[in-house]
Amino acid sequence: MKLQKLSYSLLVLLVLVSSAAIAHAQPPVTVYKLRNSHGVETQITNYGGIVISLKVPDRNGKFDDVVLGFKTAQDYMRKNDPYLGAIIGRYGNRIAKGRFTLNGVEYKLAVNNGENHLHGGIKGFDKVVWTGRQIRTKDGPAVVLTYLSKDGEEGYPGNLRVRVVYTLTNKNELKIDYSATTDKDTVLNLTHHSYFNLAGEGNGDILNHELKINADRFVPTDAGSIPTGELRKVSGTPFDFLTSTAIGARINQDEEQLKLGNGYDHTFVINGTAGRLRLAATARETSSGRVMEVWTTEPGMQLYTGNFLDGSLTGKSGKPYPRRSGFCLETQHYPDSPNQPSFPTTTLKKGATYKSTTIYRFITQ
Ligand code: GLA
């Protein structure tokens, strides 16, 4: 009888311990390989939702990998990875001094960029393991990533359930659909941080890429890349990309904002109605004939020209990534919106659903 009781308690203990272990277990790190009907391929990992590779054709049908990155998912776990290809959250870009007030409560976030909060903090969405699943959709193969960011993670309020769907469509698009819900009012600004080089990763700098940005205004910042609050007209400045211009044409001009950003590291106010999918930018690389269009529902887009890359990282094909060897077009709300009442709001209310879509579309000319 005693022995029976003992073994029963042992069994109960075992069940409790193993279910606790399962509850805390992270999903295994996996790499998903997607291929569309035109042979375009991408590899995406559930670690950080990182796009590891994206192979698209040039005008002669030759495929090259147009995103900077490393060979394996594990390679990204090194500390100095500058968000290559990752999903950024909870807040893409900066929040001044890592502080904001919501419903009368001041929240203190991790400070990881000078005195400011950048890209979700010390362990942002780029460094967590998401739950992943590969599916087929009518538009092409897709990966569904979900993550529960617990109340208080990196200082943010609310249990936030996030879902990101990457679809490699049969129209040669990498489509990203974001959605999220929270059980407490919070702030949210998700984005994607691929560094593109349309001549192929590792093939020199991106200064000859021609860029057109559908934005009459941009967001000037201070020395810490925090918005001054002004939305400045681009006309007459090196931020005028309304007509297609080489990224490098004006990047070294003696201009206050370029100096503060070490080059381009600024949000553009995308023309048209936020919430509707519209063309934000077109990038062209003439030697390959590759053209990338960026479509988004977001109000803004950060152009970051890889100013902090310094050649110390070696990419997946063994080539180093020097300064300005990739550029990012990060669709998002404006930086520091929780502290800028005149900017479009980044508050996500309890019970509401966050939705955002961005498409990177590849064509040739
Ligand atoms: C963003 C920022 C940049 C830099 C990169 C990562 O684009 O705006 O200042 O931090 O991420 O290096």
From 100, 104, 123, 115, select the one nearest 47 (Cα to Cα).
Answer: 123
What pLDDT was estimated at residue 75?
Answer: 96
The model's pLDDT over 1-33, given as tens digits with 9 standing for 90+, comes to 454 554 555 544 444 444 444 445 789 999 999
Q: What are the C-alpha distances in Å from 195 to residues 165, 220, 240, 297?
A: 19, 22, 21, 20
User: 347 alpha carbon to ligand 1 midpoint, in Å?
Assistant: 22
CA angle 138, 139, 145 (to 5 degrees): 95
Q: What pLDDT, in 10s, does the model give residues 72-103?
A: 999 999 767 999 999 999 999 999 999 999 99
Give the percent of the chain with pLDDT over 70. 93
Neighbour-count burial of 163, counting CB atoms closer than 10 A to its CB (0-12 exposed, 13-18 middle, 19+ buried):
middle
Residue 309 CA, closest ligand 1 atom number: 12
Distance 304 CA to ligand 1 centre (A): 7
Atom of ligand 1 nearest to the CA of 308: 12
Is 184:318 a contact under the CB 8 Å cutoff?
no
- Whole-model pTM? 0.94
What's the chain's average pLDDT? 94
Atom index in ligand 1 nearest the CA of residue 261 equals: 9
Positions marked active-site = 193, 330
C-beta 328 within 6 A of ligand 1: yes
Given phi > 0 = left and psi -120 to 50 = alpha, else beta, which region is 262? left
- Tell me what the mean pLDDT of segment 108-130 comes to: 97
Give the 3-state secondary structure of residue 207.
coil
